[in-house]
Structure 1
Amino acid sequence: MRLELAGKQFDGRPVLGPITLELAPAQRVALLGPSGAGKTTLMRIIAGLDTRFHGLRQVPERLAMVFQEPNLLPWRTALQNITLPTGTTPDAARALLAQVGLEGRDAAWPRQLSLGQQRRLALARAFAARPQILLMDEPFASLDADTAGRMLDLTARLLDDSGAGLVLVTHDPSEAAFLRAQPLRLRGTPATLDVGEPGALPPHPRDI
């Protein structure tokens, strides 16, 4: 993936300045910075949801995105929330439901699932698309510490198994460290990307 952003404005107000972001296969990065810094705006540009910017965007064929809210189809079952958007088979969808701890819940409606279960269903849906890069916009926000920890561990395992790259938007550097994502900070007005010193990914907490 390569993004060469010359700038982004809202109603004539510069929000993002010049930014170059490259992602190699299976590489993981985390976009950090204060609220209003432009993290979600940058993510939406990467995802192709915002096309009103100046610059060049080159992304692989298969992207998947996990939003802060699960964004499930309330009138479809858990199984259909995976198969309909992604085209994956029911058997493959059931296998993913089992991987995220929702085995046997394929006929459940989203309203019958807790918020943590809905987040796990959204994660299963994302990986059903077999993404080359997974985009995550503060997916662990508003979860209690135990649920967030389980979600982080599940995400790490699915990333390891799939070999997908990762672009994570978060306020929490510990989430980036857990997912072995290189931290990149948005700073200034308009915001630019501070890539910091190059180096190895941080060690996974389970390896310490």
Structure 2
Amino acid sequence: MRIDIQRKSFGGSDVLGRLRLDIRRGQRIAVLGPSGVGKSTLLRIIAGLDRDFPGSVGGDERLSVVFQEPTLLPWRRALDNITIPTGCDLALASDLLKRVGLQDQLDRFPRQMSLGQQRRLSLARAFAARPDILLMDEPFASLDPDTATRMIDLTGDLLDHSGAGLILVTHEAREPVRLAARPLLLRGDPATLHEDGQTI
């Protein structure tokens, strides 16, 4: 996947400056930066949810997204929350639910689950789509430290098992370390990507 953004503006003000980035299956990248710098905006562009910018995002890689909130179907049970959005078969859905520790939650609705369980269900759904690259928008935010650590380790295990690449948006420096992701810093006004003090 090749990302080439000339700029991204809101209301006439540039939020993102010139950004160029290449990533392929198996590579892991973490985009760090303070709140409000444009990290989620960048991820939405990469995901194809925002096309209002000069530039291009190209490639035939299959993408899957884990948002800050689980964005589950509240009227569907856990198993259906995987099979319906992704079209995967019951065997894969059941295997993923087992991998994330929700094998005993198949018939529960999201409202009957804790936030941590909902996050794990959302993660299982993302991998059920068989992505080449997984996009994650601060998925461990608002979790207590122990739960966040378990979620990070679980994500790493699923990435290892699937071979998928990763673009993680976060403001926590420890997350890229635990996920063996290449850290890039988004900073400036408008924001650009930096690595080892150099603009990339």
Task: Give the structure-1-normalised TM-score.
Answer: 0.93
After superposition, residues 22-37 of structure 1 pair within 5 angstroms as 22-37=22-37
Of all paired residues, the percent bearing the same amino acid is: 61
RMSD, aligned α-carbons: 1.1
Give, in angstroms, the shift of residue 59 of structure 1: 3.3
**Which residue pairs with 2:142 in the alignment?**
142
- Quote the Cα distance in structure 1 between the aligned partners of 2:187 and 2:113: 38
Give, in angstroms, the shift of residue 91 of structure 1: 1.7
After superposition, residues 191-202 of structure 1 pair within 5 angstroms as 191-196=191-196
* Residues 175 and 125 of structure 1: CA distance in aligned 2, closer, same or farther (over 3 Å): same
- Quote the Cα distance in structure 2 between the aligned partners of 1:44 and 1:11: 18
**Which residue pairs with 1:205 in the alignment?**
none
Aligned residues: 198
- Quote the Cα distance in structure 1 between the aligned partners of 2:195 and 2:59: 20
Matched, 1:69 2:69: yes
**Which residue pairs with 2:183 in the alignment?**
183
- Quote the Cα distance in structure 2 between the aligned partners of 1:11 and 1:172: 29
- Quote the Cα distance in structure 2 between the aligned partners of 1:70 and 1:164: 20
Is the CA contact 2:24–2:133 (under 8 Å) kept in the aligned structure 1? no
**Which residue pairs with 2:151 in the alignment?**
151
- Quote the Cα distance in structure 1 between the aligned partners of 2:61 and 2:84: 19
- Quote the Cα distance in structure 1 between the aligned partners of 2:64 and 2:25: 15
- Quote the Cα distance in structure 1 between the aligned partners of 2:31 and 2:151: 19
Give, in angstroms, the shift of residue 24 of structure 1: 2.7
- SS class of match (2:121): helix
Task: Give the structure-2-normalised TM-score.
Answer: 0.96
Structure 2 residue runs without a partner (length 5+): none
After superposition, residues 41-190 of structure 1 pair within 5 angstroms as 41-190=41-190
